[in-house]
Amino acid sequence: MTDEKDKIRRISKMAREQRDRHQEYRLVDDLRKRGVFDETNARLDETMDQLRAESDRYLDAWAKAFLDFHPVTEQRTEGAMEAWAKMGKVDQKAMSAVIQQMIDSRASDPAKRAKLQAAHDRMTDARHRAAVYDGDVDRARPAYYVGPGWTDILDDLVREFAEIDGLGFLAAHEKWGELRIAYLYSGDRQADVDAIVKRAADRCLAACWYCGQAGRMRKERWWRVRCYEHWGAE
């Protein structure tokens, strides 16, 4: 878990640095196109070259990070690459090309491939053992990372999950004031799973995070669902 948190912190830092570089690059390029700088200005050319070089180095690092987080082929979907490219503010086609080069270079190292596959299998096994498939709310509740007002809603969700074969509850948390659910499922009833999750999320939008009484989404420093009594509880 510590290694995973370190990875996430490292990726977040990379994303922030790339965002700053991306904004600087766009600013310089925009000024040049508008004629603010002379095209023959050597200093400008040097700055642009440095920015491009930094961007190339970042693209390589971002692609490597993608492979670290998606070690097996099944994880490297178009959607995953698109989301990763958007998060890092890099060109998806360019990133995909770099990723393919890295994959090709790893093909000649079966020991490394086996190590990556073994790590992925251990992670998958641990997630399956942690998931709640049988509606046992007592085992599920330690993974409710929300206020007590949403506990009953999540209990109902866990019990509904148990009615679908192969659907396991992992955890619940709040993001932007809304309910987020993590689960394991690979069956053919995804529409039913989505409906259960949406039903629980909609109920949480109208229930106070603290007490479960009628509440609504409000924003002060951040978004949250609270009743009038608990609005100032923080």
Q: What is the pLDDT of residue 154?
A: 93
Provide the β-strand partners of residue 73. Answer: none
- Do 17 and 55 contact (CB within 8 A), yes or no? no
Q: d(Cα 98, Cα 104) in Å, to the nearest integer?
A: 10
End-to-end CA distance of the chain: 29
Q: What is the pLDDT of residue 65?
A: 81
Residues 6+ apart with CB under 8 A from 202: none
Both structure tokens of 41: 């200005």
Q: d(Cα 223, Cα 169) in Å, to the nearest integer?
A: 25
Q: d(Cα 131, Cα 140) in Å, to the nearest integer?
A: 8
Provide the β-strand partners of residue 172. Answer: 144, 181
Q: What is the pLDDT of residue 200?
A: 93
Length of the chain: 234
Q: What is the pLDDT of residue 201?
A: 92
Mean pLDDT, 10 residues at a time, over the chain (234 residues)? Answer: 63 63 57 53 56 72 79 78 80 82 71 69 76 88 88 93 90 86 86 92 89 81 78 64
Q: What is the pLDDT of residue 23?
A: 56
Q: Which helix (H) or strand (E) holds 230?
A: none
Q: What is the pLDDT of residue 158?
A: 94
Q: d(Cα 122, Cα 58) in Å, to the nearest integer?
A: 30
Nearest to 210 by CA among 151, 155, 147: 147
Nearest to 220 by CA among 209, 202, 234, 210: 234
